[in-house]
Amino acid sequence: MSSFCDGDEVEIIGHEDGLWGSYYEAKIIKQTEKEDEFLIEYKTLIEDDKEDEITEQQKDGAKVFLQETVNVKYIRPAPPTIEVSKFKINDEVDVFDNDGWWVGRVTRVSENRNKYTGSVFTRCYVWFDSTMEEIDYQFCKLRIHQERTNGSWVKQENNKTKNKRKFVKDSSVLHQETKKIHTGMGTEVGCSSWTVEIY
């Protein structure tokens, strides 16, 4: 019996080279002839513009989202939303970047006040084991990382033993090295546009 129904909101686990530690929002279109495969449509990934396969929608300028047949082992239900007012150092999080959610860990949190409006905005520095990089993001780009275990969602608590990186007291040195890497790639630290090819 199928665990998913047509129209279900799901996430596709990154399962190709360079996509380790990522999740992509999608919906179930239908089950294929195989019991363990589903046709899905991504919510953020767009069809490639191939000259010989341009559809009427593409001619009209409408976005055509990528559809793909995916094995059920790479599909999970969309996780529930957990509202948080702040993140702490070592929180395991997902960061929305490059059209998907990427698993990382908070290394530093900075709060800054706008001198004109007085409003406070938060930036979180996140370490990614998949690329060995620390990148800073706006608070709104993060969510608590959750894993699906025995049919239930489990929130990932602070767990220092899981972190492969030893944190330094002042991570500004690492931040400067990360900035050099991104400058060399033509991308500024803090921008939400880094390429899949680096994974």
Sign of torsion over alpha carbons 192, 168, 19, 151: negative
In this structure, what is the dihedral angle of CA atoms 43, 48, 50, 54, given to the nearest 10 degrees? 20
Quick: pLDDT tens for 77-119: 999 999 999 999 999 999 999 999 999 999 999 998 888 888 8
pLDDT over 50 (residue 74): yes
Query: What does the chain come to in residues?
Result: 199
pLDDT over 90 (residue 69): yes
The whole-angstrom separation of Cα 92 and Cα 106 is 7
Residue 118 is predicted with a pLDDT of: 84
What is the chain's mean pLDDT, rounded? 78
